[in-house]
Amino acid sequence: MASPSVYQLSTHIIRQTGHKCTASVILLHGSGGTGDDLRDTFRYLLREDLCFPHIRILYPTAPVRPYSLADGMPSSVWFDRVNLGLNSVEQKISTDAMAKQLGQLVDAEVKSGIPLHRIVIGGFSMGGAMALHLGYRFHKKIAGVIAIGSFLPNDSAVYQDLEQVKAADTTLPLLTQIHGEADELVNFLWGRNTFDRLCSLGVKGEFTAVPNLGHFLNRTVTISLREKILKLLPEEHSL
C-alpha cells in the first residue's frame, strides 16, 4: 500500500494481518535502494511479506541527492558520506535533516494511537546507521533499534549525545545488531566496534555475528529479524 499524503517521504506500508494494529516498525533501506526494494527482498527471502497480526510495517524511501561517496552522482541515500570507515567524518547536517523528515513518520504513528514504546526502527547498511541516530538521539523512548550490516564512525553524533545522557537515569531502546563476518563493504569489526561503544554508553542489546555472510540479506537473517521484532513488540495479550 502506498503512503498517505501526510508523509513527505514516499512510504510503502504493509498493514497488520489482524483486526487491530498495536505496534509499528519502520525499516530503512541501504544506500541506492528504495523502500519497495527492501520490502521485495524480504518477500523473496520469506516467500511471503514480512508481516504480523498486530504490527504495521513502514518502508520509506530516501530522497535522491548527490552522494559524495559516488563522486556526486544522484542516489537515494539517507545522508551524505565523503568516505567509508571508522575514521570517516560524519556529515551531521544531512543526518539531522533526514532525522527530522523520518521523525514525521514516528509522529504520525503516535498520532494514530501507537505509543513510542511500541515502535521499532531498523534498517540495513546505511539504513541501520540512520536507525541508530533516530533511536539514540531523537526518539529514545521507542522499544528498540535493529541494525543489520551497519556501523557508526568514531566521531558519530550518536556517541556524543549518549555521553551527555550517560549519567542520567534514562531507559534507552534495546539494540539488536546483526553483521556478516564476511561483509566486504562494511567491515565486520566496524560493526562490532559500534556495538561495543554503544554498550559502553549505556545501551543494552545483543550482537549476532553471521558466519560466511557478506553485505547482503539472506533468509536466515530475515527469519531472525522477524523473531527479534516479535520479541520487542509482542502481541498485547502476551504482555
* Cβ 197 vs Cβ 174: under 8 Å: no
Q: Is 183 a catalytic residue?
A: yes
Which cell numbers hold the place of 225? 529479524
Among the listed residues 12, 31, 54, 183, the single catalytic one is 183
Helix 157-165 to helix 92-111 angle (10° resolution) is: 60
Among the listed residues 37, 49, 117, 215, the single catalytic one is 215
Helix 157-165 to helix 126-133 angle (10° resolution) is: 30
Q: Is 125 a catalytic residue?
A: yes
Could you give the CA distance from residue 174 to residue 56 in angstroms, rounded to a whole number? 19
* Cβ 54 vs Cβ 229: under 8 Å: no
Q: Which of 102, 91, 112, 108 is nearest to 145 (CA)?
A: 102
Q: Is 49 a catalytic residue?
A: no
Helices (H), the chain: 35-46, 92-111, 126-133, 157-165, 188-200, 219-232
Among the listed residues 31, 125, 150, 156, the single catalytic one is 125
Separation of CA 150 from chain center = 9
Q: Which of 77, 67, 1, 12 is nearest to 38 (CA)?
A: 12
Q: Beta 55-60 vs 11-14: how paired, if at all? A: antiparallel
- Catalytic site residues? 125, 183, 215
